[in-house]
Structure formats: structure tokens, C-alpha cells
């Protein structure tokens, strides 16, 4: 404590460029530390993430490559082929455009209005626009990595099949980057205006907007598949499909610019390709600038308005759903019910936790609702079975993100405040069992309902439906066991943020084990069912009756597969739980 | 009961008449470094600040006291520009927070009760960012960092990642970052939370020395003894209103005339307001 700095007159406030450089240096320093730490302390995790991403990327690339080759082989006429590809691209990018608007809006809401970093930055003499831009770039990055993971294999596969010139690949990055900025900018403007004008009802406004969008999307998806069915890839089918995709083919939509520009580039029409790229970049910059201006005008006021929202009057009696758990689940001990109610309250009062999952559940429900409309009667019957199991896997993967993102961090957060539960007259096993039943119960309801909807729309047999429901039960119990067990065995006691806990080593391991478990369980039941149906379709029931041994072996395989999946389900539930119970009993506080 | 606090109220009234509403003379140094002019701010139906009038002069160390929910944090958030008033205005060095917030923020250093620090930066990198965003040139920034490192005895850990810091180290870094640009006004929310006795002494000495050098210090605290020890003037806020405003000597006169401690005075003042509030709510 030697000297006191004399108060100096005001210094000159840095220019916009100087501020931008300071923020870039800040991001760069943080990124460097993160990369250095990841490769020094979490090599396994980093390698696992890279390998899994590569596997997913290669799988998608293979799928798209085969799909484009099939189209090229089936549709010889170049113009027709290109028109169809453009229609597919437009529909694909239109769906992603809507997803990105929501995704960027939700991420920005969290980072602009709920992050302690924002309060720190707003108290500095930095421009409001610069603070917004700092968080906006972050949101663009977070919301678009999924888009890049899906979009890049699609476009690379197309380029290879279409024998596109070299500059097609060079233009992919600027095209995708420019495209991402448009929905991100729109999402940011929506987020700022909703918080500014409706600080008290922002949740309701967002939910109404999402519901409108889902209804609109549902109606559009239904309109795409309605009407008389015609044979696949015939001229009538083609004309019919093009007519139905008209909405996504609007010339003023960015998804059309992107698809038209890429197809023109792939056809070696470089001037057309560049023209569309320039249109995209101009619009991306416009959206970004509009978002910056909106932030300049509304961000601080919206931040202040949100802080000024009155606390909602809390009801003295528990909500209906809480009362249902407290009274309805009477067969559980009371402490367990109270813990479940506590976890449910924490879950539903943090929209950042469930909003994106809810959007995915909504989109899946829309997709399932429209399954009947697809012309699968013309297809091989085994495809229906494959689609039903594919749906089961997708729903399982969605549930695994719920258990990894929410249930796995619950144990770490509980352990950080363990003095509370640790000192209460509760058995530690009760705490873990409550988490397990909460997770399994929370997963089984949406999982089972979605699969029932999918099966009903696919019009599959009651026996297969029952088998799917059993698989659902196994999946949910196993996923809950894995997340609770690993959560208790590998808690992160330093991190406060659930998302960061889920992104750590334990969370990644939980996601990987959950994914493998889903794939193995579904394969155990799907493969024998598929081959049995395939044999019936190929040879007919009569043939199988005559060749009892083949029929017997197929049935045996199916029984073994079902029993195997049950055994695996029990193992996946019991083993992680046992490990977790042991670790939790030994935990000190 | 009300007459007992006439010194504070009279003083408050006198001060209110002294300053002009929102300084507009930008070419001259403002009379008051901090001005709350008839501030009202509510959270839904709850009125957090109700017509707050308060001014703080250059070189003054002002302590704002009050029970939980009195409006102290709201006053600090208004002063740092995080909140906007429903009516009235706040100025720092003559800069209105709503319309000229950047210049106000540039003249100010702020240490919140739970400071945000980037865990993945080292202390030095964090200070460099704070210096850059306040427009310090590279050489000036290096000098300022060296000066504050010495002031807060941070040399040992400055190049380690912030995520490895203890609470006290984090608090010292937050102080250093707020003082880096030698602000004319320092705003502190609960300065002593989590500090060990040695650090508490260090901060007290530092605050007094800065005030002596002309810096205006506005701090919100629950620690009555600290306010009593180092503050030039004390304000007691409750129910969104200033219940007492006076210098230390005025306070001491008040205390000696009633043979009361600051704690007793504080409890009596805030108890009365609580009862009034309960009556209003009832």
C-alpha cells in the first residue's frame, strides 16, 4: 500500500475501432486459455468430441452423397434435377432459418439479460452497441455450429456429386457465414423488442410466437404432403412436389438466394454465384446493422425495464403439478416426493434449460403428425419398420440431451450445497432415488407419447407398438440411471452453471454412454424385427410356414434381441446407479 | 420520535437547496460529483426509491447505510447506469447517466459486491482489458497496472488464472481494476465482504488516502463500524427514503445528545420506517 493515484481529469473515450480491438483481444485471450487447458487437462474429452463430431459428419456426408447420387441417376434431365435439388435445398435452409432465429434469440436473451458479464460490461464506458456486438458474435457462434455441422456435409456432398468447380468449395464458407447472420440478426431484434415492450410478459410473448410458428409450420408441412398420391419420381409427382414447395421458393427469402447461388456456382456459372453471394452478404450486413441499431436504441432501456419487473406474487399453496406429485405419488416416501417437487420447480423456472428441448419436441411432434401423409404405401414395407425405429432412436437421443443437460448437473449442484441435504435427516440413497425417478418419469411421458404418435401415424401393428413402448421404458430407465449414476460419481464441484457442468468431461461421457446405449438397445430390437418383416415381404407367409427353421431362427433372434435389450436396460440402469450410490455415500461436505 | 432526527432532516433540507437541479455547466467543474435529483424508481408495485435527493462533493467519502431492501443496491445500480430512474436524474461529474452515460462511466470506477471477473484470464490480462476499454495508452496502462499491483500487493498472483484466486484476491483485483484509470468517483457496493482483517485495513487506508487526494467515494455498506470509522458523511436509507443525512460530527453530536451508538440510531430509524411500511401495507 504505497501510493494513491491522484484523480485525473477525464480520459478520452476510446474510438469504436479501439473498443472493438479490445473486445477481440479479450475473446482471443479467453479462447487461447480454453484451447491450452483443453489440450493440457482434457485431452480425452477433446479427442472424444472431435471423433464423435467426425463420425457424425462422415455419416451425414455419406447419407447426402448417396442421396444426391441416387437423384442424379434417377433424374437424367439436368434442368429437372437442378430444380428438384434447389427445392430440397430451399426447404432445408428455410427450416434451418426458422430454427436459427429462435436459437439465436434464446441464446441472446440469456447472454444479454441474464449474464453477470453484461452487468459488468454495461458499467464500463463501452458503447452499448459494442457490448451488444460482443454478445451477438458469441450467440452467432453458439447458435450456428449445429447448422455448420449439418450444412457442410450436405453442400460438400452435392459439390462432389455435381462435379462443381473449385470455387464452389471456396465460396461455401462465405455463403454459410452470411446466411447465419440473417436469422441471428432477426432473432436479436426480436429478443430486444420483446424484452423492451413486454418485460413482464416476455415468456408469454415468446411462447405465443413459437406456437404461431409451430401452427404455421404444421399447416405448411401438412400442405406439403396432402392431396392425391402419385408414384415416386414421376413427372406428375415432380410437378406436384414443386407446387407444394412454392412457399420456400419465394425469391425474397435468404434460403432461396443461398440454394440458387450454390446451384449456379456448382454449374460453373460463377458470375451468377457471385451475384447471389453479394446479395447474401449485403443482407447479412444489413440485418447485423439493424440489430446493432436496435441494441443502441433499446438494449439499456430493456435491461433496466427487465430489472424493474415486479416480483410475481407467489401462491402460498403449491401449483397443481406439484400437488399432483405430492398427493398422487403416495407410494413414494414423503421426503422423496418433496425432493422431486423441488427439482421440478427448479427445472420449470429456468426456461433456458428447457426452451430449446421444447422446440425440438414440438418439431418432432409435427414431423410425426405428418408421417401418414407421406406416400410410403408405394415403398417397401420394411421401410415403415425402419422409419419407426429411426423415430425411436431420434426420440431417445432427444431424451438423452434432457438427462445430460439437466439431470447430470443436478447432482453436482446438489453436492455443492450438500451441507443442506447432508445435514438433514435424509438417507443419501433417498436423494439419489428421487433424482432417478424424477429423471425417468420426466423422460417417459414425452418419449412414450411421441413414439405412440409416430406408431399410430405409421399404422404399425399392435405387437410392434407394444415392443416400442417397452423399448421406451428401457431407454428412459437406462438414461436416468446413467445420468444420475455418473452425475454422483463424477460431480463437478467448482462450476455453478449447469450448461458448463454438462459440457465438462463427466457430461460428455454421460452423453456418449447414453448415445451408445440408445443405439445398441434400438439395434437389438430393430434388426431382428426388420429381417423378419423383410423375409415375410420377400417370400410371403406361406414360404416361411413351409421353411419352419428359417422362421424359427428369425423368431429366436427377435426374442433374444428383446431379452438382450431388457438385460442391457437393467444393466445400464443398475450399474451406473450402484457406482453413483457408492460415491455419493462417501461424499464429504 | 421525528424531532429526534431533526439534525439529519434539517441538514438534508439544507443540502437540497444548495445544488442546482442537474448541472448544465459542462465547462466548469461541477459543484457536486454525484447528484441524485428527486429519484423515483419502482419494481412493479414496490417503490424502491421514493424522491431521493442526494449530493456528494469532490473528495468526500460518503457511506450509504440501510437494512436489506432499503434501496441501497437500486441507488448504486442507478449510479452505475445499470438501471434508469422512473423520474428524476442522476449525474456523475456533471454527466447525466441516462443521456451521457459513457462519459459518466469514464469518470467512475465501480466495485460491485460480487464482482464479475473473467476466470479464463490472468489478473494482468483482466487489468489490461479494463485499461484498454477505458482508453489508456499502452505505456500508461502498464504504469497503472504496476501501481495498483503494488497498492493491492498482487504481484505474486497477478499472472495466474483468475479461476485459481481466493475471494479476497478477486476482491483486490476488482478494486485494482476500478482504480486503474484514476477515476474521479469511486462507487463501491459492500467493500469488505469476504476480506480478511489485513485486507480490510488495506482497503480502509486506501479509501481514506484516495478521498484525501480528491477522489469522491460513494459506498454502500452494512458495516456500521466501518462507516463510522472512515466516512465523512453518512446517509441512512430505508423504505426508499433518506432517513438521515449528516456529517460525522453532526452524527456524533446526535449520538452524544442521545447517548446512543450508531447501531442504536440505525435500528431506531429503520424500525420506525418498517412499522410505517407495515401500516401502509396493512
- pLDDT tens digits, residue range B234-274? 998 888 888 888 887 777 677 666 666 677 777 776 665 55
Q: Which of A119, A123, A311 sits opposite B105 (nearest CB)?
A: A123
- DSSP labels, B63-94: EEE--TTSSHHHHHHHHTTSS--SEEEEEETT
Rounded to an integer, what distance in angstroms lies between the CA atom of residue A440 and that of residue A443? 5
Chain A residues touching residue B195 (CB < 8 angstroms): none
Give the best residue of B28, B82, B110, B175 to mutate against chain A (max A CB count within 10 A). B82
What mean pLDDT value characterizes chain B? 81
B127 contacts B93 by C-beta, under 8 angstroms: no
Q: Which three cell numbers stand for residue B168?
A: 479476497
SS3 state of residue B242: strand
Residue A407 DSSP code: I
Pairing of strands B233-238, B61-65: parallel
**Residue A490 banded pLDDT, cuts 50, 70, 90:** confident
Spatial neighbors of A466 by CB under 8 A, at least 6 apart, are: none
Who's near A38: CB < 8 A, 6+ residues apart?
Answer: A45, A46
Do B132 and A18 form a contact (C-beta atoms < 8 A)? Answer: yes
> Where exactly are the structural domains of chain B?
2-107+188-281, 111-182
pLDDT band (50, 70, 90) for residue A326: confident
Backbone angles phi, psi at B199, to 5 degrees: -70, -35
Tell me the C-alpha distance between A304 and A199, whole Å: 10
Residue A178: pLDDT band (50, 70, 90) is very high
Bridge partners (DSSP) listed for residue B32: B57
* Angle between helical axes of A462-489 and A381-402 (0-180°, round to 10): 30
- Opening angle at CA B65, ends B63 and B71, nearest 5: 115
| Sheet containing B95-96, strands listed edge to edge, beginning at the edge strand earlier in sequence | B46-57, B32-43, B87-92, B95-96
Give residue B7's pLDDT: 34
List C-alpha distances in Å: A557 to A142, A386, A526, A569: 44, 17, 11, 18
Answer whether residue B276 shows pLDDT above 60.
no
Q: B2-107+188-281 falls under which CATH superfamily?
A: P-loop containing nucleotide triphosphate hydrolases (3.40.50.300)
DSSP codes, A438-474? HHHHHHHHHHHHHHHHHHHHHT--HHHHHHHHHHHHH
Helix (H) / strand (E) element for A391: namely helix A381-402
Q: Residue A461: which pLDDT band, with cuts at 50, 70 and 90?
A: confident
Residue A226, Cβ density class (10 Å: 0-12 exposed, 13-18 middle, ≥19 buried):
exposed
Chain B residues within 8 A of A22 when measuring between CB atoms? 129, 132-133
* C-beta atoms of A124 and B134 within 8 A: yes
Spatial distance between the Cα atoms of B106 and A125, rounded to a whole number of angstroms: 5
**Core vs surface per residue A482-507: b (16+ CB within 10 A) or e:** bbbbbbbbbbbeebeebeebbbbebb
Residues of A in contact with B205 (CB under 8 A): 1
Q: Which of A19, A21, A123 is opposite residue B82, by nearest beta carbon?
A: A123
Helical H segments across A490-547, by residue range:
498-503, 505-546
Contact yes or no for B118 and A310 at CB 8 A: no
Asked if residues A436 and A403 have their Cβ atoms less than 8 Å apart, the reply is no
- Residue of A549, A517, A557 whose CA lies nearest to A533: A557
Nearest-angstrom CA–CA distance, B75 and B82: 10
Residue A309 to residue B106, Cβ atoms within 8 A: no
Nearest by CB: B147 against A5, A116, A119:
A5
CA distance A300 to A306: 10
pLDDT value of position A9: 45
Residue indicated by cell numbers 460453373: A268
Query: In the predicted model, is pLDDT for residue B17 greater than 50?
Result: no
The answer to whether B232 touches B32, Cβ cutoff 8 Å, is no
Nearest 5°: the CA angle A365, A344, A349 is 85
Q: Is the confidence at residue A421, as pLDDT, over 50?
A: yes
pLDDT at B64 over 90: yes
Tell me the residues of chain B between 97 and 116 that have a Cβ less than 8 Å away from chain A: 101-103, 105-107, 110, 112, 114-116
Q: Do A5 and B81 touch (CB under 8 A)?
A: no
Q: What is the pLDDT of residues B211-240, one digit of tens each?
A: 999 999 999 988 788 888 889 999 988 888
User: DSSP strand E in A254-320: where?
Assistant: none
Question: What does the pLDDT average to over A257-265?
Answer: 91
CB B152 within 8 A of CB B165: no
Kindly state the percentage of chain A with pLDDT values over 90: 26
The sign of the torsion formed by the CA atoms of A168, A171, A172, A178 equals negative
Pick from B43, B116, B206: which is nearest to A4 by CB? B206
**Closest chain B residue to A130, measured at CA:** B133
Residues forming beta bridges with residue A18, ordered by sequence position: none
A463-475: average pLDDT: 87
Q: What is the pLDDT of residues A85-106, one digit of tens each?
A: 888 888 888 888 888 888 888 8
Listed residue (B58, B57, B108) closest to B78, CA to CA: B108
Q: What share of chain A is helix, strand, coil (3-state, %, to 5)?
A: 85, 0, 15
Residues of A in contact with B153 (CB under 8 A): 1
> Would you say A290 and A185 are in contact if contact means Cβ atoms under 8 Å apart?
yes
Q: Do B83 and A307 touch (CB under 8 A)?
A: yes
Residues whose CB is less than 8 angstroms from the CB of residue A269 and which lie 6 or more positions away in sequence, other chains included: none
Buried b (16+ CB within 10 A) or exposed e, B7-32: bbbebbeebeeebeeebeeeeeebeb
Which among A117, A246, A447, A421 is positioned nearest to B121, based on CA atoms? A117
3-state helix, strand, coil in chain B (%, to 5): 45, 25, 30
**Segment B115-148, tens digit of pLDDT:** 999 999 999 999 999 999 999 989 999 999 999 9
DSSP A404: I
Backbone phi, psi, residue A496, to 5°: -95, -25
Give the pairing of strands B233-238 and B241-247. antiparallel
pLDDT at B8 > cutoff 60: no
Smallest Cβ–Cβ distance between B210 and the set A4, A11, A311 belongs to A4
C-alpha cell at B32: 457536486
Task: Give the DSSP H/E element, type plus range, for residue B163.
Answer: none
pLDDT bucket at A257, cuts 50 / 70 / 90:
very high
Contact residues, chain A, for B102 at CB < 8 Å:
13, 125-127
Q: Taking CB atoms and an 8 Å limit, are B151 and A3 in contact across chains?
A: yes
**Alpha helices per DSSP H over A14-127:** 16-41, 43-74, 78-113, 116-122
What is the reported pLDDT for A203?
Answer: 65
Instruction: Check if the beta carbon of residue B185 is closer than 8 Å to that of residue B33.
Output: yes
What is the biggest distance separating any 2 CA atoms in chain B, rounded to whole angstroms? 61
CA distances to A23, B139, B210, B227 from B128, in Å: 11, 11, 22, 32
Query: Where are chain A's structural domains?
Result: 18-307, 350-589
Q: Is B43 on the interface with A (CB under 8 A)?
A: yes
Tracing cell 455441422 back to the chain, one arrives at: A149
Give pLDDT, residue A226. Answer: 59
Mean pLDDT estimate for chain A: 81
Q: ipTM of the assembly?
A: 0.83
Does pLDDT of A238 surpass 80?
Answer: no
B217 DSSP β-pair partners: B61, B186
pLDDT reported for residue A300: 93
Residues 12-31 of B with CB under 8 A from A: none
Rounded to whole angstroms, how far apart are CA atoms A184 and A163?
32
Q: Residue B129: what pLDDT?
A: 95
Q: What is the side-by-side strand order in the sheet with B61-65? A: B108-111, B185-189, B216-220, B61-65, B233-238, B241-247
Phi, psi of A217 (to 5 degrees): -65, -40
**A185 within 8 A of A105, measured Cβ to Cβ:** no
The alpha-carbon gap from B262 to the nearest alpha carbon of chain A, in Å, equals 29
Task: Give yes or no for residue A507 having a pLDDT over 60.
Answer: yes
Amino acid at each position: 500500500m504505497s501510493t494513491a493515484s491522484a484523480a485525473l481529469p477525464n480520459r478520452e473515450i476510446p474510438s469504436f475501432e479501439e473498443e472493438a480491438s479490445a473486445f477481440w483481444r479479450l475473446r482471443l485471450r479467453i479462447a487461447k486459455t480454453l484451447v491450452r487447458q483443453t489440450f493440457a487437462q482434457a485431452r480425452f474429452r477433446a479427442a472424444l468430441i472431435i471423433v464423435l463430431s467426425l463420425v457424425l459428419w462422415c455419416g451425414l456426408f455419406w447419407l447426402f452423397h448417396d442421396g444426391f447420387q441416387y437423384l442424379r441417376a434417377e433424374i437424367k434431365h439436368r434442368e429437372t434435377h437442378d430444380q428438384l435439388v434447389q427445392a430440397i435445398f430451399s426447404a432445408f435452409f428455410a427450416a434451418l432459418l426458422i430454427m436459427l432465429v429462435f436459437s439465436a434469440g434464446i441464446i441472446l436473451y440469456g447472454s444479454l439479460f441474464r449474464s453477470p458479464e453484461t452487468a459488468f460490461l454495461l458499467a464500463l464506458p463501452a458503447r452499448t452497441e459494442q457490448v451488444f456486438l460482443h454478445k451477438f458474435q458469441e450467440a452467432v457462434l453458439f447458435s450456428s455450429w449445429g447448422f455448420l455441422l449439418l450444412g457442410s456435409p450436405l453442400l460438400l456432398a452435392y459439390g462432389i456429386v455435381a462435379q462443381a468447380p473449385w470455387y464452389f468449395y471456396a465460396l461455401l464458407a462465405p455463403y454459410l457465414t452470411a446466411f447465419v447472420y440473417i436469422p441471428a440478426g432477426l432473432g436479436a431484434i426480436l429478443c430486444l423488442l420483446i424484452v423492451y415492450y413486454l418485460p413482464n410478459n416476455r415468456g408469454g410473448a415468446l411462447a405465443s410466437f413459437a406456437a404461431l410458428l409451430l401452427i404455421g409450420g404444421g399447416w405448411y408441412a401438412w400442405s406439403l404432403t396432402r392431396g392425391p398420391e402419385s408414384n415416386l419420381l414421376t413427372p406428375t409427382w415432380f410437378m406436384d412436389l414443386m407446387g407444394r414447395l412454392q412457399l420456400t421458393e419465394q425469391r425474397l427469402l435468404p434460403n432461396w438466394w443461398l440454394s440458387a447461388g450454390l446451384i449456379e456456382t456448382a454449374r460453373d456459372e460463377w458470375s451468377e454465384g457471385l451475384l447471389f453471394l453479394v446479395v447474401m452478404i449485403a443482407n447479412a450486413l444489413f440485418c447485423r446493422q439493424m440489430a446493432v441499431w436496435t441494441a443502441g436504441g433499446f438494449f439499456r432501456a430493456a435491461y433496466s425495464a427487465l430489472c424493474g419487473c415486479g416480483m410475481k406474487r407467489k401462491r402460498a399453496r403449491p401449483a397443481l403439478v406439484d400437488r399432483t406429485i405430492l398427493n398422487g405419488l403416495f407410494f413414494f416416501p414423503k421426503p422423496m416426493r418433496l425432493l422431486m417437487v423441488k427439482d421440478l420447480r427448479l427445472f420449470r423456472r429456468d426456461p433456458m434449460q428447457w426452451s430449446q428441448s421444447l422446440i425440438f419436441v414440438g418439431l418432432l411432434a409435427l414431423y410425426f403428425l405428418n408421417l401418414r401423409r407421406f406416400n410410403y404405401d408405394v415403398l417397401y414395407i420394411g421401410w415403415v419398420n425402419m422409419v419407426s425405429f429411426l423415430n425411436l432412436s431420434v426420440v431417445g437421443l432427444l431424451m438423452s440431451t434432457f438427462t445430460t443437460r439437466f439431470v447430470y448437473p443436478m447432482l453436482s449442484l446438489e453436492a455443492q450445497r450438500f451441507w443442506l441435504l447432508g445435514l438433514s435427516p435424509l438417507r443419501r440413497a433417498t436423494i439419489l432415488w428421487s433424482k432417478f425417478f424424477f429423471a425417468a418419469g420426466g423422460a417417459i411421458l414425452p418419449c412414450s407419447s411421441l413414439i405412440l404418435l409416430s406408431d399410430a401415424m405409421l399404422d404399425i401393428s399392435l405387437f410392434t407398438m407394444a415392443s416400442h413402448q417397452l423399448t421406451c421404458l428401457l431407454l428412459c430407465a437406462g438414461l436416468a440411471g446413467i445420468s444420475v449414476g455418473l452425475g454422483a460419481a463424477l460431480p463437478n464441484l467448482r462450476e455453478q452453471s449447469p450448461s458448463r457442468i454438462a459440457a465438462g468431461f463427466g457430461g460428455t461421457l454421460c452423453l456418449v454412454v447414453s448415445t451408445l446405449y440408445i443405439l445398441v438397445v434400438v439395434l437389438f430390437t430393430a434388426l431382428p424385427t426388420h429381417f423378419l418383416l423383410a423375409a415375410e415381404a420377400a417370400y410371403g407367409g406361406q414360404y416361411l410356414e413351409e421353411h419352419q427353421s428359417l422362421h424359427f431362427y428369425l423368431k429366436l433372434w427377435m426374442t433374444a434381441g428383446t431379452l438382450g435389450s431388457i438385460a442391457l436396460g437393467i444393466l445400464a440402469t443398475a450399474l451406473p446407479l450402484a457406482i453413483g450410490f457408492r460415491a455419493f455415500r462417501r461424499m464429504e461436505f | 420520535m421525528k424531532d429526534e432526527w431533526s439534525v439529519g432532516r434539517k441538514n438534508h433540507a439544507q443540502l437540497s437547496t444548495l445544488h442546482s437541479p442537474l448541472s448544465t455547466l459542462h465547462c466548469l467543474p461541477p459543484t457536486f460529483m454525484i447528484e441524485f435529483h428527486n429519484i423515483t424508481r419502482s419494481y412493479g408495485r414496490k417503490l424502491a426509491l421514493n424522491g431521493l435527493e442526494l449530493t456528494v462533493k469532490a473528495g468526500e467519502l460518503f457511506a450509504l447505510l440501510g437494512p436489506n431492501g432499503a434501496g441501497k443496491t437500486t441507488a448504486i445500480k442507478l449510479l452505475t447506469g445499470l438501471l434508469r430512474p422512473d423520474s428524476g436524474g442522476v449525474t456523475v461529474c456533471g454527466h447525466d447517466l441516462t443521456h451521457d452515460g459513457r462519459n459518466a462511466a469514464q469518470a467512475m470506477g465501480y466495485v460491485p459486491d460480487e464482482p464479475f471477473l473473467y476466470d479464463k484470464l490472468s489478473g494482468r490480462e483482466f487489468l489490461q482489458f479494463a485499461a484498454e476499454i477505458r482508453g489508456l495508452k499502452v505505456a500508461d496502462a502498464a504504469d497503472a497496472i504496476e501501481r495498483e499491483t503494488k497498492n493491492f500487493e498482487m504481484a505474486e498472483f497477478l499472472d495466474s488464472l483468475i479461476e485459481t484466486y481466493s475471494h479476497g484476491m478477486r476482491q483486490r483485483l476488482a478494486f485494482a481494476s476500478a482504480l486503474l484509470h484514476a477515476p474521479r468517483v469511486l462507487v463501491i457496493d459492500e467493500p469488505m465482504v469476504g476480506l480478511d482483517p489485513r485486507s480490510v485495513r488495506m482497503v480502509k487506508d486506501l479509501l481514506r488516502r484516495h478521498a484525501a487526494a480528491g477522489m469522491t467515494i460513494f459506498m454502500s455498506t452494512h458495516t456500521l463500524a466501518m462507516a463510522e470509522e472512515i466516512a465523512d458523511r453518512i446517509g441512512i436509507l430505508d423504505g426508499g427514503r433518506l432517513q438521515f443525512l449528516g456529517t460525522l460530527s453532526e452524527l456524533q453530536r446526535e449520538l452524544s445528545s442521545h447517548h446512543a451508538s450508531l447501531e442504536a440510531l440505525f435500528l431506531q430509524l429503520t424500525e420506525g420506517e418498517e412499522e410505517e411500511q407495515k401500516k401502509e401495507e396493512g
